[in-house]
Structure 1
Amino acid sequence: MDGKDLAEADSGAVDPGTLRFLKVLVGTLTAVMILGLIAIVALLVIRLGPAPAPTLPDAITLPDGTTPLAVTYGAGWYAVATDEALLIYGTDGTLRQTVEINLE
């Protein structure tokens, strides 16, 4: 092999049709990845949206001398924690149960 043959072998000449195919392939894969990412973000936004607020009465009446410290709710009830007790109310605002808290 002489120097001229080596130069032609190392030139890396590629068929233009192959380059065009690779360009279209890379562009298509990029578009598919972008659409997939948009779909994932949309699904996360839809699934992790705000939770529905519970239905609570407009006002509740706590026993005299109690101060609410925390409120939590479940299906059909909500509870108010005070220093001495846990007051469990129905969604209509009526007191259902009182659980005394003894820290001794």
Structure 2
Amino acid sequence: MFGKNAKVDLELNRDVEQLIKTGGKEKLLPIVQAGEPVLRQRTVAYHGQLSKRTLAKLIDTMHTTMLEAPGVGLAATQIGLGLALAVVEDHVRDDEDDPREIAEFPFT
């Protein structure tokens, strides 16, 4: 993902930086609504197209947006970005009737 062969797409990187700025100081991006074309388009796999700095800011902004929505996940397409990226966070619940094991992992 960040190997020596990864090549940053400067145009995409600029577009994502602009998208992040629309979130303002609150880091809240608008979530696109059903019917938006980006939700039906095939996504592009992520292979290092963004600089490490831009990717970190995007993930942080998506995480903040997801929590404010509220939700347990947010895909890049939901903010109008056609990359195959998502943030997910679900917290452990003390439900003894649930047979599934859930372990808490830090959001990084």
Greater Rg by CA: 1
What TM-score, normalized by structure 2, do the two folds share?
Answer: 0.21
Higher relative contact order (CA 8 A, sep 6+): 2
Q: Which structure dedicates a bigger proportion of its chain to strand?
A: 1
TM-score by length of 1: 0.22
Write 1 or 2 for the structure with the bigger share of helix. Answer: 1
